[in-house]
Every structure is written in C-alpha cells, then in structure tokens.
Structure 1
Amino acid sequence: MSKTVTVSDQNGTEALAAKLAAVARAGDVILMHGTLGMGKSAFCRAFIRAVAENPHEEVPSPTFTLVQIYELDRVPVWHFDLYRLSDPEEVHELDIEDAFSDAVSLIEWPDRLEYLTPESRLDIHIEPGSTPDGRVFNLEPHGEDWTVRINDLVVSSS
C-alpha cells in the first residue's frame, strides 16, 4: 500500500528524508523517480546528512562518478546516479550488489536497472506540488518490512 506525503518547501523535503533515514538499515534499496529538477538529489543529500548526523556533511552529486560511497557510523550509504548508463549490465561495474547487501542504496534514475531491480525496495515518486517548491512524494513499498516502516513513518509524521 503506497503512502502520499505532500511538502510545501525544501524544508519539508529534508524533514521527510530525515524521517526515512531514521528507519533505514543495511540492505535497504530506495529508488528515486522523478523528472529533472524534481529534487531527487536534494532528497538524497538530506537523507545522507541525516544518517551522518551532520547537516554540513559534504554530499557531492554522483552525476559524473555514477556512485558516491559514504562510510557512515550507523550504516554505509551508496548514492547512485544512473542517468548516463545505457545498458543495465553497466551497473555491475559499480559493485551495486555489494551495496544491495551491505549498505543503504539510494538510486536516482532507477529505470536503468531494468531486470536488476530488487524485489524488496522502496520506490519514491516525486511530482510537483501546489507551490513552486512544494512536492508530492508517493512512497511505494515493495516487501512487508517496507510496508510496516512506511506506515509507522506516516503515522509519526502527521
């Protein structure tokens, strides 16, 4: 069962990212869907800073490196940007299987994964909100564990 969370500005996006970061654990895969400029990278940066417990953590975009790895105390986070990939086989070169088992994987442009998309995952679809900085986040859990955590998240965020 998916859940919808509407935020009015960047602060709301960061707050939602922090709430998800608080319940994240090794092996989690979070797929970020949305067009250019919807805030996928901003969400991922806020998520990583929350896991790091450091609002000033340097979080460069993985646009050119394709992956940035953060060896954080609570859990490692791998941030992938697959936009420039043309074949899902290229994903193997990024050691994505290691991330899937040992870290939290934040993946922008997950359509590039194709058949490599894990069954247990959280899909986040971002759409424009009613204000210029507002966003609508549709959280679509795949797997019972994600369903429980998302239900708890939404209850605690209201």
Structure 2
Amino acid sequence: MRTPEVVIEGLAGPLIVDVTAFGGPPTVCVSGEPVPRVQDTYLLPLANGGQVAGRLRRYALDPYPTIEIDGEKHRTGPAVPVGLRILALLPLALVGLGGLVGGLFGIAGLASNMIILRKSWPVVTRAAAMAGVLAVAATLALAIPAMIAVALD
C-alpha cells in the first residue's frame, strides 16, 4: 500500500511510503525515487542537496506510518479513528467463542478488516464493512462446528 504524497518542508520533493502488508521494511521515496536505508534510518534528500535522517514509526492498527525527521513527527496519511481500530480487532474475540475454528475465522476477519482499514472510504462505510466481516466470520465460526457435529452423529 502506498501512502498519499506528503510535502515536508526542506525535502527535495514529496515523500511517499510504500508499506508491505505482511512485514518487510517499507520503501520510502522522495520525488518518486527510493531513498537509501541504513538499518532503520532512511537518508532523505534535502532541497539544498544535503541529506537528513528520517525514522519510520509504525503503530498498532494504524495503516499509515509516521516519519520522524529531526525530532518532528509527520503523518504519512490520515488519522484512523479509534473506534475503527477497535472494530478491526473484534473478530479475534471469536477465539473464545469458537475455539480453533473461531480463531481461524477470527484471524481471517482481522486480516480482512486491516485491508478495509486502509481504504479511503468514508468512516461509516468502513465501519459497516467491518461489522459485516465480523458477522460473516461469527456465523461461519458457529455454523461449521455445528455442521461437523451433525455430520458425525
């Protein structure tokens, strides 16, 4: 997922972060060109020809990382409401409801909700989609063990 362009004063151009869905270091680009990374620090080109160090910070259930340059934090995308973050986690409660099968559907639901969380849809639309994912996951987590129990009798 690519973040929207962020214009940060002093950099050689707009900054974009390409975040991988399942781990791996993100790629940071300035003016469309990838910048070198040394461990967890990115060497960002300045408009005057120099370089400045920037560090990406990723927070739980926030699809957009924050880049810190000279102690100043810059978001690379819009803030995600706390309510959506909580709603994204709810499928994990299926572990307690349905054991192993519930856990499998809970993890699938969480993964689906993380994709929805990254969408630029209105908050109400994302909340409705996440509630739908929870409803489908819960239905499957309860129905499949019931069907297996009936089949085994």
- TM tier, shorter chain? under 0.3
Give TM-score, length-normalised by structure 1.
0.26
Give TM-score, length-normalised by structure 2.
0.27
Which structure carries more relative contact order (alpha carbon 8 Å, separation 6+)?
A: 1
Higher-Rg member (1/2): 2
Question: Greater strand share, 1 or 2?
Answer: 1
